[in-house]
Chains A and B, each alone.
Chain A
Amino acid sequence: MENSITLMVRDPFWVFAYWELVSETRKVFKGIPPVLKVKNLTEKSYCFIYTNEFADNWHIEVEKPGSTFEVELGYIVDGVFQTLAVSNKVTTPRNSVSNNFEEYYRIFRNDVFQVLKFLEKGITSPGSEYLKSEDD
């Protein structure tokens, strides 16, 4: 067993974290609430959430659809955040229509793809991952 934190997606505005702290860690930090460092990797910003001493999970309101998050679990001692575990990364769903109007098409042949570059609107993105995959 080791200290760990797992992150899950609930909806465009909320994620959920649960964690395990080994008893030695709990003993060392007795009386101090675990802190979550919630990092928005899309915006490159973060904030801290003070949980409570006995918590082992938290519903986190991140308020950011379509953004990628990672959470560090730790304690703040003497004003310094000490990381004990880092979560997996998750991305919240979008909650609105995309404003990207690019059009790429493929011919779907039950497993065999023949790629069509479709430039109806004269938009092209040579670096697009979709187009790159045709070289595979």
Chain B
Amino acid sequence: MEKGYVSLVLHAHLPYVRHPEHEFFLEEKWYYEAVTETYIPLIKVFDALIREDVDFRITMTLTPTLVSLMSDELIQKRYKHYLEKLIELSEKEVERTRLHQPEFHDTAKFYRSLFSEVYQIYTDYCKGNLVGVFKRFQDSGHLEIITSAATHGFLPHMVQVPEAVRAQIKVGIDSYIKHFGKRPRGFWLPECAYTSELDEFLKKEGISYYILETHGVLFADPKPKYATFAPILSPGGVAAFGRDIESSKQVWSATEGYPGDYEYREFYRDIGHDLDFDYIKPYIHPDGIRIQTGIKYYKITGKVDLKDKQPYNYKRAISKAEKHAGNFMFNREHQIRYASGGMDNPPIVLCPYDAELFGHWWFEGPKWLEFLFRKASKDQNTFKFITPSEYLDKYPKIQICSPNPSSWGNKGYFEVWLNKNNDWIYRHLHQAARKMVELTERFKDARGLQRDALNQAARELLLAQSSDWAFIMDSGTMVEYAVKRTKDHIYRFNKLYEDIVNNKIDENWLRNITYLDNIFPDIDYRVYQKKS
């Protein structure tokens, strides 16, 4: 009989980076890389485990923006083209390394077969429909998919206009129901950002639980008796699971954690930067800007300059991943044996990670996950994997505590999304949200073109609210893009507002921005009706 549980939660998210107006768009590549390096490798792992009857449970957020990208025909078509180019490059690399860099030849052959396999999984196994494949894993009981706010809006910075919070939550849930055919039980608070005002809306939508940063639970009031080893119940009636610190660090930290191991693949050394310009030109930015291609031949090596990195060896890296999986399992066994001592219910160790860490940043991550599930199912019986909702169903007696406002961002509160680099956006976001509520009040039963304009105004507002823009403004890279996205959506919203109020809707322009910002095709602007 198990003494406790481990719950792995992978948060898969990308902002809506679809740009039909350009043949090539750098930020769309974020999505293509994540599919190639994370989502398809995870699908491969889940499929292998199910076929071999390995007992496993995992929880994933698929955010509404990510699901929208996955389901978009243009993005699907472009992704195939992206992969075809990548396979073409990997074939050239096999030839080039045979003649000129034999030390990389095996790795070049590995990439060729890897990308061909990804292509085959994408086209044959998934038939281009990644959402459908994840849904199958959910329907078979191995994967619990949870949703998030419509565009990953930073909800605590939205509470000044409660209708805006409600719309982010409701549109996110409606999108989930449309794609997965039932209501979600869990809700990923964007950036794990919590404040008590959110509970009312989540509860009303039937959400059972969310996940908080460790001190969101540890600093709850009254003090939670079992720290993060048990969920707490907010006075608003939603269960909160806290992130386990120990297991987080082991995986998350680039310096102390597994992903920093010297045998693992070096992320920053890519042939897009290294190889002769004329050779690599067809595979980088059309303007000749060198960017990553996804083919990387070096390992982390140690604390050395990028130029001093040593050749990567996939087999050695994978054997490290297996050891690290064993180590993770061993530590969880100890932790759970220790924690279960003084508890009424078996403890739960909840480990949330960005899904893109697995594969994209930590190339060997999906293999690590596979090793972990395999080992845990046969080499130990101290713990079992569980999803948060299974835990709630099994152990429904929960301590009532008010969670502490918090986030998983730097310093643990809301500063990353509110500081000198991004504070200017909130004036505009709040004003637009108030105007949207006003529009909904004034035009309760709009029809035809007016309704289309109102629905588009709702889309523009939601897109402007993505937490990603404030985050990028703070991070200091790609800032221009984040500023432009914020300004574009706010501009489009404000023009729509004026056009609607003055009854002068510019139909051609409206059709054009509806084509550009086509997220949530079924949205109903009345989701912004004034809160009673």
Contact = CB atoms under 8 A, between A and B. Distances in A.
Interface in B92-115: none
Interface stretch (A31-39, A43-51, A72-80, A94-102): A94-102
B157 A8 contact: yes
Given A16-B418, A100-B223, A130 B235 contact: yes
Contact of A9 (B393, B405, B419, B420): B405
A16 B392 contact: no
Interface in A50-109: 57, 59, 88, 91, 93-109
B397 interface: yes
B397 A116 contact: yes
Contacts of B412: 11
A6 B223 contact: no
11 contacts: A8-B418, A9-B413, A18-B423, A59-B420, A59-B423, A94-B219, A97-B218, A97-B223, A99-B223, A101-B223, A129-B235
A103 B413 contact: no
B221 A108 contact: no
A10 interface: yes
A10 B397 contact: no
Ranked 8 nearest A-B pairs via Cβ: A11-B413, A93-B405, A98-B221, A100-B222, A108-B396, A98-B223, A104-B400, A102-B222
B233 interface: yes
Nearest to A102: B222
Given A14-B415, A105-B397, A97 B219 contact: yes
A88 B219 contact: no
Given A9-B414, A105-B397, A88 B235 contact: no
A6 B419 CA distance: 15
B206 A8 contact: no
Contacts of B381: none
Contact of A106 (B157, B208, B219, B397): B397
A24 interface: no
Given A6-B427, A99-B223, 7 more contacts: A8-B426, A10-B419, A11-B414, A57-B423, A106-B398, A110-B208, A116-B397
Contacts of B400: 104-106, 130
Given A8-B426, A10-B414, A108 B392 contact: yes
B51 interface: no
B415 to A, nearest CB: 5
A94 B396 contact: no
Interface of A: 6, 8-12, 14, 16, 18, 20, 57, 59, 88, 91, 93-111, 113, 116, 129-130, 133
B220 interface: yes
Contacts of A102: 222
A129 B195 CA distance: 19
A109 B394 CA distance: 10
B160 interface: yes
B239 interface: yes
Contact of B195 (A9, A101, A103, A130): A9
Contacts of B405: 9, 91, 93
A37 B430 CA distance: 22
Interface string B180-215: 000001000000000100000000001010000000
Contact of B222 (A93, A101, A116): A101
Nearest to A104: B400
Contacts of B418: 8, 10, 16
A88 B400 CA distance: 28
B156 interface: yes
A11 B193 CA distance: 12
Report which residue of A11, A99, A130 has the largest number of chain B beta carbons within 10 angstroms of its beta carbon: A11
A130 B237 CA distance: 10
Contacts of B392: 108, 110
A96 B219 contact: yes
A99 B222 CA distance: 7
B223 A108 contact: no
Contacts of B185: 110
Nearest to B238: A108
B337 to A, nearest CB: 24
Interface in B15-39: none
A99 B415 CA distance: 26
Contacts of A110: 185, 208, 392-393
A94 B423 contact: no
A101 to B, nearest CB: 6
A8 B470 CA distance: 15
A104 to B, nearest CB: 5
Contacts of B430: 6
A100 to B, nearest CB: 4
Contact of B415 (A11, A57, A106): A11
Nearest to B430: A6
B487 interface: no
B398 A105 contact: yes
Contacts of B423: 16, 18, 57, 59
Contacts of A109: 396
A96 to B, nearest CB: 6
